[in-house]
Amino acid sequence: MSSAKRILLIIGGGIAAYKCLDLIRRLRERGHSVRAVMTKAAHHFVTPLSVGALTNERVLTDLFDLDEEREIGHIRLARDSDLIVVAPATADLIARMAGGHADDLATAVLLATEKPVVLAPAMNPAMWRNPATRRNVAQLKADGVRIIGPAVGEMAERGEAGPGRLVEVPELIAAIEGAFEAGASRGGVLEGRHVIITSGPTHEPIDPIRYLANRSSGKQGFELATAAAELGARVTLITGPVSLSEPAGVEIVRIKTAAEMLEAVKAALPADIAVFAAAVADWRVETIQTEKIKKSEKTGAPTLSLTENPDILKMIARPGPERPRLVIGFAAETQNVLTHAQAKLKSKRADWIVANDVSPSSGVMGGENNTVHLITASGVESWPEMSKAKVARKLMERAAEQLHAKRTAAE
């Protein structure tokens, strides 16, 4: 960020609170000022002394602090910051936020603020999946809170794994700076536009418990949906099975198979822009077994007869009254990236192809960064490595420019 911002960091009571020390350091390195509010539970994981040493500010903890509240400190805190970040946001803190409680300094500030709020959940996977937490998160999203994470991985409890980890600091910083950019572009360049985005893998069933799939995490597609929504678009995100938190302000359609994705895309039309970022399985089993295929020494390995899945990008890009004005496909390749992508642009009749190298050494599949090439009729534009959030933002801004240019040319 080129301009310094005032950030109020509310630290909740979870083991992931230790990451806030690195977060504060990195934010200050980028020129931002940080003040911190700690919940009572947060004191069990990090100390006000260590937090204060990094913020170079007094750490606030008490709603009834005599010195601060003489000037109604919680109201001043709510108004004097450009952005409020809640990390880690525990299940209890999320519940109190969603319920509009104000029984401590953290929740009183959150209830009093009119500034943007970024919330980073962290809790046990069972707590994250609990229907009460899901309801509370949905309410906060409806209230306009920007939610980042949780990440999927090993938990502090031995043997526990799943969605519930606090996202890593670089991803959190990207979300914070993305919130500033979203505020600057509210009512932005895609206002009044409808954008369809496909994301994630598809699961093609073999029998009741097995399926064909790929390693797509869906992160790039979800970041595209977030960026389009921040630029003012109405967004329909059609996603295969993924473990990601839902972007705020986006209509989500969850599917499993390629056939279901095609029908969902057709149902979502018409659209101004369609971005096909999903890693759709090329093949499916011709006959799905109704019972689990049993291993047998007599018959050996089963033979699977495969048939081709529908080519969603090619079908939607065909000329016709419902063809989106801008059709963007993705080409995930492991060799000859540009050659394959340029061929795909022609064969699919897409307007643009976003090509990237997804070989294991690239770290793109499931990673936070991406290195892409934008293939158009005019040629190839290679972008430097950047976060998937920044790739998404740049691509959607370019798409908005293209729509504007087409409208101007038509006039």
CA distance 198 to 329: 10
**What would the two tokens of residue 113 be?**
């603020």
Residue 166: DSSP 8-state? P
CA distance 265 to 305: 27
Residue 348 known to bind ligand: yes
* Chain centroid offset of residue 209 CA: 28
Residue 310 known to bind ligand: yes
Kind and range of the H or E run holding 224: helix 219-230
Residue 40 known to bind ligand: no
- The strand ranges marked E within 216-361 are 234-239, 251-254, 273-276, 283-285, 306-308, 326-333, 352-357
Residue 374 known to bind ligand: no
Residue 295 known to bind ligand: no
Q: Residues with Cβ < 8 Å from 143, sequence gap 6 or more?
A: none
Residue 276 known to bind ligand: no
The one-letter code for the residue type at 349 is R
Residue 312 known to bind ligand: yes
- The answer to whether 324 touches 272, Cβ cutoff 8 Å, is yes
For 126, half-sphere exposure in the C-beta direction (CA atoms, 13 angstrom radius) is: 2
Ramachandran assignment for 162, one of left (phi > 0), alpha (psi -120 to 50 degrees), beta (any other): left
Positive/negative CA dihedral, 77, 83, 87, 91: positive
Q: Which member of 124, 136, 214, 309 is catalytic?
A: 214
CA distance 138 to 130: 12
Residue 344 known to bind ligand: yes
Q: How many angstroms separate the Cα of 249 from the Cα of each of 159, 227, 245, 291?
A: 35, 11, 12, 40
Residue 292 known to bind ligand: yes
Largest CA-CA distance found in the chain, in angstroms, rounded:
83
CA distance 209 to 16: 35
The one-letter code for the residue type at 171 is E
Is 214 catalytic? The answer is: yes
Q: Which residues are annotated as a binding site?
A: 282, 292, 310-313, 330, 344, 348
Q: Which residues are annotated as a binding site for CTP?
A: 282, 292, 310-313, 330, 344, 348
Q: Which residues are catalytic?
A: 214
